[in-house]
Structure 1
Amino acid sequence: MLNRNRFLAALLLTAAPVMAHQAHAADITGAGSSFAAPIYQAWGDSAKSAAGVSLNYQSVGSSAGQNLVTARTVDFGASDAPMAADKLASASLYQFPTVIGGIVPIVNIPGVASNQLKLSGAVLAEIYLGNITSWNDPKIAALNPGLSLPDVAIAPVHRADGSGTTFVFTSYLAKMSSGWQSQVGAATSVQWAGGAGARGNDGVGSSVRATEGAIGYVEYAYARRNSIPTVLLQDKDGEFVTPDITSFTAAAASADWDHASHFAVDLLNGPGKSVWPIVSATFVLVPTNAKDAARANAVYKFFDYSFHTGDAAAKKLDYVPLPESVKQKVEAGYPGK
């Protein structure tokens, strides 16, 4: 009995530092972008033990993320659509980017494999405007000489929830098509010409996979992990580009961070060779007048730790890490620092 008590006492002494660390771990909450959810979850897994910050992140869409942090329901909001300067000021929010990634069209076309189909931004806009309704339409065929295109109806799928991914996708279409710009525009939620709505990347991906002739748009990492066929897109020079980490990195390299208001850099249809045309940073929004200073500092600690140690995790999940100079500007701008 004596030996057993000594063993238990020794075990408690050994576990005490770990238990104390866990007891003092700071809890923070975040919500918003589904595009960014995989990397925040990965960073959260690492930061809990290494930085003593425990993150509870809810993937509810960019619009909800903006609304929740504005209402101070969460410690930070996450959005792929950057907030305008006047809204940041009125809501007392500091905005900064965390990683960069690509948005890709996904398709379910009989007899057409991944990255066989070539599309341009203008044709993509015509599809979502309802002006091109069959996969063997002459405008699609002209971009794809030698590819056998079936006489199958196109079934467009879009996000039904307020989505930063939709903001990025519709911003690209507006840049590539004057008709899209005048008829629909760019926003986290728009009035679609038709098609089916689905919630989140999961909903869009599932709808496309289940529907013959479907086309949708999701983050690249989601499409790759779920083996959903993607397409080639025409770049600024007229060449057709494959969606991958190399073409996303090429887009990020052309970014003009120095002249971006509140870090809202434009990465759509950028110049350069083999540049994927639908690339965006994803953003975090934190209050500049946080009522709980300890929780606010825990948010900064979480992102500081992630910026310094999380590039490998970002690359593994097919994101492009921020340039070091941008990370330094972000950290220098933290409210109260």
Structure 2
Amino acid sequence: MRIKQLVISAVVSAIAMSSAAAADITGAGATFPYPIYAKWAENYKKVTGTGMNYQPVGSGAGIKQIKAKTVDFGASDMPLKKEELDAAGLMQFPVVMGGVVPIVNLPGVQPGQMKLTGAVVADIYMGKIVKWNDQKIVALNPGVKLPDDEITVVRRADSSGTSFLWTDFLSKSSPEFQKTIGAGTTVKWAVGVGGKGNEGVAANVQRIKGAIGYVEYAYAKKNKMQHTQLQNKNGEFVQPDDSTFKAAAAAADWAKTPGFGVVLTNQAGKGAWPITGASFIIMHKSQSDAAKGREVLKFFDWAFKNGDPAAVELDYVPMPEAVSKLVQQNWKTELKDASGKAIL
């Protein structure tokens, strides 16, 4: 009798564990939003018991994984164009916004003290400016003691939405950069040392004296890295923070942009940070597992309604309420089960 009870108990436990695991959702993609997705997942599981496993493998890998249907959703900081979405039967929506910042390793220079322009950074990343005391940098930074050190360029080695935002800004700042390197999640870099993910770029910059790289702002702030100011489209030198990211997003027309594919780099507007971007979730329009698709939407619905404080704490910018409502309306018309019925 005792053995029978133990067997029954084990079976019940296994079923419960199987049910819990079945409810968990999986995603992969951009490293940019990983800190906030991880925090939301932690808080969501406490409330609902449903887990969310997110792999920060880079935007390019996330797009590949959702196209291959190996995850429930992909994530990218480069919005896919309508043609690519339609060809693969996908839809996308923005979830949170933030900024990409230049980081440097220059002893004696304070975080946020140095000023750079997009054109100067483009010249650095094309290998045209090779020393920190180059006259173009000195002219922007009167009174700042700049060393006669060689510049080591650090960039992403993986397919990255952060790289897309970075190269898109540099392409808009320099016709030569646009022509020779261009914008993309992966590009043919002229110079530099590669690092995988924000952590790889940050590790190389911290290790190499005279290095410059780029990471998302929340990562730079959390790790107390030396960021620089940047000149925006209005000619202002601005610091990265919530207010300058919001200023960049203020004029975005989400409703009229196909697939919500707004790119927020080099936006006009007072105080706008020039490398601002949204992070996008990508899903299949036809959900072969409608219950799992519904769980994904329930997670992001919860995030829209309850996740703003955590986003602000981690230096992200929540989506405006009007945009999140547009997104939720879009779910009802875009996402269907195998029979063509809306999953919500």
| Contact preservation (8 Å) 1:155, 1:195 | yes
* Deviation by residue 1:70-97 (Cα, 9 ceiling, x = unmatched): 0000000000011111111111111000
How many equivalent residue pairs?
A: 321
Number of the residue aligned with 1:226: 223
SS at match of 1:333: helix
Equivalent of 1:73, from 70, 74, 78?
70
- CA change 1:149–1:24 in 2 (3 A) is closer
Number of the residue aligned with 1:327: 324
Number of the residue aligned with 1:262: 259
Number of the residue aligned with 1:164: 161
* Deviation by residue 1:183-234 (Cα, 9 ceiling, x = unmatched): 0001101011111001000000010001010000000000000011000101
SS at match of 2:98: strand
Number of the residue aligned with 2:184: 187
Equivalent of 1:248, from 245, 266, 290?
245
Q: How far has the Cα of 1:51 moved from its partner?
A: 3.1
* Deviation by residue 1:261-307 (Cα, 9 ceiling, x = unmatched): 21111211112221110000000001111211110110111111111
- 2:213 & 2:173 partners in 1: Cα distance? 17
- 2:249 & 2:43 partners in 1: Cα distance? 26
SS at match of 1:82: coil
Number of the residue aligned with 2:105: 108
Q: How does 1:1-337 map to 2 (within 5 A)?
A: 23=20, 26-334=23-331, 335=335, 336=342, 337=344
| Contact preservation (8 Å) 2:126, 2:177 | yes
- 1:312 & 1:176 partners in 2: Cα distance? 34
Moved over 2 A (4+): 22-25
- Counterpart residue identity of residue 198, structure 2: N
Q: How far has the Cα of 1:145 moved from its partner?
A: 1.4
| Contact preservation (8 Å) 2:79, 2:262 | no
Structure 2, unmatched stretches of 5+, are 1-12, 336-341
Q: How far has the Cα of 1:125 moved from its partner?
A: 0.2
TM-score normalised according to structure 2 size: 0.90
| Contact preservation (8 Å) 2:101, 2:228 | yes
Of 23-32 and 120-129, the range deviating more from structure 2:
23-32
Q: How far has the Cα of 1:259 moved from its partner?
A: 2.4
| Contact preservation (8 Å) 1:25, 1:54 | no
- CA change 1:308–1:147 in 2 (3 A) is same
SS at match of 2:201: helix
Q: How far has the Cα of 1:66 moved from its partner?
A: 0.2
Q: How far has the Cα of 1:25 moved from its partner?
A: 7.3
- 2:99 & 2:230 partners in 1: Cα distance? 12
| Contact preservation (8 Å) 1:31, 1:57 | yes
Of 157-166 and 266-275, the range deviating more from structure 2:
266-275
SS at match of 1:53: coil
| Contact preservation (8 Å) 2:156, 2:197 | yes
- 2:20 & 2:263 partners in 1: Cα distance? 43
Of 51-60 and 129-138, the range deviating more from structure 2:
51-60
| Contact preservation (8 Å) 1:241, 1:276 | yes
- 1:24 & 1:200 partners in 2: Cα distance? 28
- Counterpart residue identity of residue 183, structure 1: T
Q: How far has the Cα of 1:24 moved from its partner?
A: 8.2
**Structure 1 vs Structure 2: percent identity of aligned residues?**
51
- 2:134 & 2:27 partners in 1: Cα distance? 44
- CA change 1:38–1:127 in 2 (3 A) is same
- 2:111 & 2:29 partners in 1: Cα distance? 30
Q: How far has the Cα of 1:110 moved from its partner?
A: 2.5
- 1:154 & 1:171 partners in 2: Cα distance? 22
- Counterpart residue identity of residue 93, structure 1: L
- Counterpart residue identity of residue 90, structure 2: L
TM-score normalised according to structure 1 size: 0.92
- 1:223 & 1:95 partners in 2: Cα distance? 27
| Contact preservation (8 Å) 1:25, 1:48 | no
Q: How far has the Cα of 1:175 moved from its partner?
A: 0.6
* Deviation by residue 1:41-78 (Cα, 9 ceiling, x = unmatched): 11111111323421011110000000000000000000
- CA change 1:31–1:24 in 2 (3 A) is closer
Number of the residue aligned with 1:11: none
Structure 1, unmatched stretches of 5+, are 1-15
